[in-house]
Amino acid sequence: MLFGWGLARVPASTATTLSLLEPAVAAVLAVLVVGERLPLLGWAGIALVVCCLAVLTVPTGPRTRPRTRVRARFGTGAHAPAGRRTVRTDPAPSAQEDAVAP
């Protein structure tokens, strides 16, 4: 009951990591509380689980966000940077379109 209460109050990544440790804790409690005998391979498995979870949870250093380029769309107006002006590929307006008043 307390395990479920605690899982509801931690982030999902932490809850997943703790859930992966649950079988190892159950095996150790079976040895300590009930008096079960765990073979050497079982102890090796517990050690492997604990070591792998330690590798997953130890911070590796400062995390920086990868630099990404954001392409802005610039028009052909006077405020667009010289190297970023777009080139119109559609045909020039015809004389009829110029004659139509808005």
Reported as a single tens digit per residue, the pLDDT across 61-75 is 776 666 666 555 555
Within 8 A by CB and 6+ apart from 81, the residues are: 74
Give Dmax (Cα) for the chain: 98
pTM of the model: 0.51
Q: Tell me the average pLDDT across 47-76.
A: 74
CA dist 101 to 2, 23, 96, 98, Å? 76, 79, 10, 8
